[in-house]
Structure 1
Amino acid sequence: MSFKNLNLINPIVRAVTEAGYSKPTEIQRTAIPHILAGKDIIGCAQTGTGKTAAFAMPILQLLKRHSPEHKEIRTLILTPTRELAIQIEENFGVYSKYMPLSQLSIFGGVSIGGQLAALRKRVDILVATPGRLLDLVNQRHIDLSKIEILVLDEADRMLDMGFVNDVKKVLKLIPSKRQTLFFSATMPVSIKKFAETILNNPVEVTVTPVSSTAQTVKQSVYFVEKQDKTDLLIDILQKKNTVRSLVFTRTKHAANKLVQQLENVGIFAAAIHGNKSQAARQNALDDFKNSRINVLVATDIAARGIDIDDLPNVVNYELPNIPETYVHRIGRTGRAGAEGTAISFCDTEERADLKNIQKLIGFTVPVRSFYK
């Protein structure tokens, strides 16, 4: 099946083809026709399966089809992190290359001046984190009264991060008559119940089980004590030499400490987490994407917006205590059919976490030997 078979207009098909998209993914094949038909959606698919394109392409077509002469914001996309907001804005920019539509991302942690200047121009599609959005609404810089389409992206993480009250405030500011698209990589019962309160007769689109991991990712685990993890990581990174690696820690402190330990042995690395300024986070991500550094150490929240086509290696330096987070983490590699490697370190205190992860994914992760 091609993108033309989904009844997408030529400007969108041309843009995505030039961007290297050859055929729709399963979530795109399933969701796009329903969105074009004006349906509300509850979409669930694992990380890396093309959820952003699944809602972005039909939204652009709907806005083009009904394009009134006004300057009001017509589509609002709520997302939990700065990185993800930037990524979504960039994707919309790619897909709308041949269309007279504009997009803007706003988020906290940066000067408000640049965002205000951008808002004075026409913005058709606004991508926002909830906190900064409400700040600008309260200051009367943003009018949400003409919203036609609302998207909640990475909804599970957004609500886990405590944004539920902010989301409810936003819902009161937008028209009740709208199209709502609810996308998430996991769909716990509580999240689904919340979705059903804000959607109108939604179509459920679940293309891969919440517990599934991509078959293109080669998984393995080392049983290693906490004090030996850094030496093991250094050994692995030095053997892989120039291979880019995304390394996950549970805490900001652990990420900073690990970067220093890596740099002490000549491995150039950077940390990305919530305490870093937006400029520092974006610089680290740019350096990583452009191979100026080969190792990026990240916490889960900061890594949620990282979307890198060529990321061959993910390392769980510390296992997550939420099994679904493991699926998110290793979904950073093996994207779009490419092969990837996911290596996990498991110390004595993390054995229960590994057991829960394996129960979720229905798969016993192969064990590698580690010799000090």
Structure 2
Amino acid sequence: MNMLRTDASSANPARQSCCARSALDLDASFCEECGKPLYRCMAHAECGGLLDEGDMCPVCVNLELSLNAGAASSVREGGKLALPLTIRNASNVGRPLFITGLWITENDGPPRELKLPFARIEPQQTANVAVRTEILKYAGVHQVDLLIAVSTRYQWRQEEYVFSSNIIFPVEPKDPGGPATTINVNAQEVGAGFTVYNPTRIEADRSAGAPPQIEPLRLSHKRADAAERDYHKRGLDNGIRVPRDVELVWRGFSPDEAPFDGPIVKASGMLIAGRNSRRAGNDICLRVGEGLDELSLSISRLLFSLYIESGAFKLRAEGQYGLKVNDRQLKRTETMTLKSGDVIRPVVKAPSALSISVAFEIEHDDVRRIILTRESAK
């Protein structure tokens, strides 16, 4: 009896329960029991989830992969194998998952992207896709690696992740005179996997009244952080990633104009900037001078928001007058990824009157500090 097996480890665990209890207070920024910062999911209002160590909400992103029960196919040297894959959104809250990519790699060959007839999977629902191998040219052990990219969305924001799984199975030598080898799902075998049967054995078992397999085979999977960078699903195009716990450092701001240095720990996960003072609800007060002069009045009360999304530092224009980043003018609701060296210019009609420069400090391809420096015309 030969075995086809799957290999991968489980996903990252959820945050401690004490943090979840503290996060019920939306004004809380740190866990009152363990002292850790509370990094809430962007959809915390719907899911109540906290981000795990990989910046993922395990409540919203609960993916299950399996191979269909009763799947069978001949697999011989020179043939192909179809693996009927089922993707399930196992989230217990009303949060859909979006499948943004599926790739297959065989025996260290180049990846092939599969076209999917679906994109959205509702909670507790499944979608099916046939993963077909290339021609199996050689007998022996064959490996299929799967990469699946998923996203979760809330309002205009989106977080993307990539998971990997793999399947190993034997390819029988080509022998026209012998019986074909059939692969059937057998989820009850020790070690989890496919069991390879000879068709005559299957027929004999059926004639003896043995029940057919009715349970799908669960495939284990794990986060593929390297693939997330390579496929530009998380982080910047140059492979640099901005984690949710990145420290923001405010230079050139007075104490009443900007928050304390540190990560974004607000319940919304966003910082709001504009003409309004911090007492009026803004996190960053932007005024050219000390009072409300003409240039300051041209800055919207709510001008832009800053947040971390899919490993990138993002800005969203919120004000009716817009703003500039470098030489690009942003209109209301436009978003862009901020990079080291970018300059935010809040006063469109006088770009040099006030600016905020962005600088990254990087360690091991992760941005550990973002320094935001305020400068105004003399």
TM class, shorter-length: under 0.3
Question: Which has a greater percent of helix?
Answer: 1
TM-score normalized with structure 1 length:
0.25
Q: Which has the higher contact order (CA 8 A, sep 6+)?
A: 1
TM-score normalized with structure 2 length:
0.24
